[in-house]
Amino acid sequence: MNPLVRLRPGPSPGHHQRPRQARAAHCGRWCWLGLAAALLLAATAGPTAASADRYAEAVRAQEVGRFDAARALAEPLARRGDVRAQRLMGILYDLGQGVKQDYQEARRWYRLAADQGDASAQRRMAVLFDLGQGVPQDRAEARRWYLLAAAQGDAPAQARLGALYRLGLGGERDYAEAMRWYRLAAEQGDPAAQVDTGFMYDQGLGVTADPAEALKWYQRAADAKDPNGLYNVGLAYARGRGVARNDSLALIWYQRAAELGHAGAGNNLGTLYERGLGTMKDVAVAYMWYSLASWRLPLADNQDRLRAIRNRDELGHKMSALGIATARQMAREWRPGTSFPPATTAPPPGE
């Protein structure tokens, strides 16, 4: 026998045999558990990737108006607990896309996704309570859902939560809390929240009044072509708030806002043209803007409409019948980008 080869002594009968069998059995159980876990992971990994593909296909179908296809793709996923598909099903019922509009069914799907922590679904739940769609209007409940979404960084939820605090809807009015949520949304680039943040600085609500800081936030919204941002930049120049007064620049910003449908800007343009502020006096153009603001520009409230109607009618008393007919024809033919006296066509500084 080779002296370098040492034989391991065998087990004595009845001594080591049972422990070896026990170890073999113990190993067998763990091996089977490991195998089962591996099989489970393999089974779930494939469908997860496939589910993502089907969800993406459902979204594409919705975006191009193939709502029946979107629902057919999303519903099986939603029933298996896919949070994105549940939210999409809620949207389809909410908007009546491929199905009869049904806010209660929308709420059911939104709730499933919201309970899984989906911020967008939580915000959509809030909107239903905020507007009383499919449920009794309940601003306190809306606040609760907006807060859940806002805490996850959902900018539209943050902006609306700010409005509820500012207006005292669903709870006590709290300007400081309103400002906090507006600012969070504004810093994420939400143009409406940027306008609201500017307004809070403008009016000194929840913060020390600071017109220059207000203008900064209005300008950010204006840079995103937000009509209210453009309008408020024009208003700042017209009033000299946070910047030196400049009627020519006010007119430019008002026109940009009016071309995006802002009736208040249209009405203010009429005033500038009627009085010859920042441009040549032109009562026909003034009458045209008052007319557009009174009935055609879509972004308006009742006060905007009534003010424009009053200004138009008062100016009309000073004009000839031919002048009024000419101005009305201009209003009918007006399209965004229509040029008038030179001051309206000059670009704002920095462009």
Is 144 in contact with 160 (CB distance < 8 Å)? no
If you average pLDDT over every residue of the chain, what do you get? 87
pLDDT tens profile 255-295: 999 999 999 999 999 999 999 999 999 999 999 999 999 99
Question: What average pLDDT does range 326-333 have in this prediction?
Answer: 94
Cα separation of 266 and 269, whole Å?
5
User: Backbone phi, then psi, for 262, in 5-degree steps?
Assistant: -85, 110
User: pLDDT class for 319, splitting at 50, 70, 90?
Assistant: very high
* pLDDT number for residue 340: 59
User: pLDDT class for 349, splitting at 50, 70, 90?
Assistant: very low
Percent of the chain with pLDDT over 70: 83
pLDDT tens profile 282-293: 999 999 999 999
Beta bridge partners of 81: none
pLDDT tens profile 152-193: 999 999 999 999 999 999 999 999 999 999 999 999 999 999
* pLDDT number for residue 301: 87
DSSP state letter for 123: H
pTM for this entry: 0.80
Spatial CA neighbour of 340 closest among 297, 286, 291, 293: 286
Place of tokens 């309103």: 178
Cα separation of 43 and 81, whole Å?
16
Cα separation of 350 and 315, whole Å?
35
**Predicted confidence (pLDDT) at residue 346 exceeds the cutoff of 70:** no
pLDDT tens profile 36-90: 444 343 433 334 777 789 999 999 999 999 999 999 999 999 999 999 999 999 9
